[in-house]
């Protein structure tokens, strides 16, 4: 099959993810419990008892082969060859894997930019995102196209506008990855242009934040960038509470996480935590819950709205032509 034998396929199917990571990417896993590990690049992806599960995306698997295909977005043959070339085989680690605090922090370097953003712009337009919002994010240097593989690069910056975090989103497949050395507490956000804005909308992914901004622009016009919009990069609260520290004027938080089991559970946990956190100015945060009314996430909802508007216009044209 495409340069790999049945024997090789059977051999790599037996390699579990923890064995592969210990052999080939030891710096990519963090011990977080008794026989439980998580990935540094995706902290909601947990490995335990020979299995792995990505909680923020609600799917998992058993083997390293499953992981390379489902998470790293490799095709089957490439994944098999990767496991063969890496010579990943069951080994015994005599020295315990160091915790996150014990390991030296990797240096954070933004991926090299491509000379234009044409592919990224086309990809986001096809996802329904408004062109003005895309251009705004590019101008604010929180979005660009990488030179290698032409991925979307979503950048998280601190209050001094220094890049502290970046994640990649593949435009040709389901590829998502945080850049090594990223500080997860500074996730992607759409810069607010209204001084003193006290409202924050919270999402799981950058594309959902852009999708809700597009919906708001269509409903409210130029007011779409008058509030804070933050993507957590999953369901962790790390970026949320860092953001609230950086913008103490925020008093209202609207949770717009995905409308699935993981998202709804995370919303409830965040709500409870926010309601027990003192807000610097007014004493308590006002917490609103607003998962998408249609579909799993706000990009699903945006595309349903676009489809319904297109069908409405087409039906209107037909009725007009019939009257004529």
Contact 230, 264 (CB under 8 A): no
Element (H, E) at 286: strand 286-289
In a domain, 259, yes or no: yes
Residue 75 and residue 178 in one domain = no
In a domain, 110, yes or no: no
**DSSP state letter for 91:** -
The CATH number of whichever domain residue 14 belongs to comes to 3.90.580.10
Residue 169 and residue 299 in one domain = yes
Q: Would you say the pTM of this structure is higher than 0.75?
A: no
Lowest-confidence range among 101-105, 131-135, 142-146? 101-105
Q: Tell which wins on pLDDT, 146 or 194.
A: 146
Residue 40 and residue 145 in one domain = no
The CATH number of whichever domain residue 186 belongs to comes to 3.40.1360.10
In a domain, 109, yes or no: no
In a domain, 1, yes or no: no
In a domain, 103, yes or no: no
Q: Which residues contact 193 (CB under 8 A, 6 or more apart)?
A: 225, 226
Res 8 pLDDT > 90: no
In a domain, 225, yes or no: yes
Residue 123 and residue 81 in one domain = no
Q: What is the four-CA torsion angle of 255, 257, 263, 265, rounded to 10 degrees?
A: 0
SS3 category, 197: coil
Radius of gyration, alpha carbons of the chain? 22
Residue 75 and residue 153 in one domain = no
Q: Tell which wins on pLDDT, 2 or 244.
A: 244
Last residue of a domain, one of 85, 104, 134: 85
**What DSSP string runs through 8-68?**
HHHHHHT-BHHHHHHHH-GGGEEEEETTEEEESS-TTEEEETTEEEETTTTEEESBHHHHH
pLDDT value at residue 95: 41
Domain limits for position 14: 6-85
Residue 81 and residue 161 in one domain = no
Overall domain count for the chain: 2
Residue 162 and residue 260 in one domain = yes
Through-space distance between the first and last CA atoms of the chain, rounded to whole angstroms: 61
pLDDT band at 97 (very low <50, low <70, confident <90, very high): very low
Bridge partners (DSSP) of residue 143 are 154
In a domain, 252, yes or no: yes
pLDDT value at residue 93: 35
State the chain's mean pLDDT as an integer: 84
Last residue of a domain, one of 66, 85, 104: 85
pLDDT value at residue 92: 33
Contact 230, 209 (CB under 8 A): yes
Strands 51-54 and 45-48: antiparallel
Contact 86, 20 (CB under 8 A): yes
Residue 152 and residue 39 in one domain = no
Give the count of beta carbons closer than 10 Å to the beta carbon of residue 63. 21
Residue 237 and residue 159 in one domain = yes
**What DSSP string runs through 234-265?**
SS-SHHHHHHHHH-TT--EEEE---SSHHHHH
Residue 28 and residue 164 in one domain = no
In a domain, 262, yes or no: yes
Residue 77 and residue 123 in one domain = no
Residue 185 and residue 276 in one domain = yes
Last residue of a domain, one of 60, 85, 110: 85
pLDDT value at residue 35: 78
Burial class from Cβ neighbours inside 10 Å (0-12, 13-18, 19+) for residue 42 reads buried
pLDDT value at residue 90: 41
CA 169 to chain centroid: 8
Give the whole-angstrom CA distance, residue 299 versus residue 302.
5
């Amino acid at each position: 099959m495409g340069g790999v034998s049945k024997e090789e396929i059977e051999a790599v199917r037996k390699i579990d993810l923890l064995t592969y990571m210990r052999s080939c990417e030891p710096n990519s896993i963090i011990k977080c419990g008794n026989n439980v590990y998580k990935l540094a690049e995706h902290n909601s992806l947990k490995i335990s008892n020979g299995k792995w599960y990505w909680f923020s995306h609600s799917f998992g698997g058993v083997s390293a082969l499953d992981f390379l295909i489902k998470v790293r977005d490799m095709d089957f043959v490439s994944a098999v060859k990767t496991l063969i070339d890496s010579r990943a085989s069951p080994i015994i680690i005599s020295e315990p894997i160091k915790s996150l605090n014990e390991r030296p922090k990797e240096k954070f370097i933004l991926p090299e930019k491509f000379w234009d953003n044409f592919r990224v712009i086309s990809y986001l337009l096809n996802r329904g995102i408004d062109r003005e919002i895309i251009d705004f994010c590019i101008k604010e240097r929180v979005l660009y196209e990488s030179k290698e593989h032409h991925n979307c690069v979503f950048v998280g910056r601190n209050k001094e506008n220094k890049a502290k975090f970046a994640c990649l989103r593949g435009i040709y497949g389901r590829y998502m990855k945080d850049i090594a050395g990223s500080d997860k507490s500074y996730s992607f956000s759409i810069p607010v242009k209204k001084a003193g804005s006290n409202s924050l909308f919270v999402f799981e992914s950058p594309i959902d934040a852009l999708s809700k901004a597009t919906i708001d622009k269509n409903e409210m016009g130029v007011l779409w960038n008058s509030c804070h919009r933050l993507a957590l990069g999953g369901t962790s609260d790390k970026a949320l509470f860092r953001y609230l520290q950086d913008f103490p004027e925020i008093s209202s938080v609207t949770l717009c996480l995905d409308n699935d089991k993981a998202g709804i559970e995370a919303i409830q946990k965040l709500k409870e935590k926010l309601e027990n956190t003192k807000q610097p100015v007014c004493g308590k945060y006002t917490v609103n819950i607003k998962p998408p009314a249609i579909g799993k996430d706000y990009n699903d909802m945006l595309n349903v709205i676009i489809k319904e508007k297109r069908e409405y216009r087409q039906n209107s044209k037909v009725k007009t032509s019939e009257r004529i």
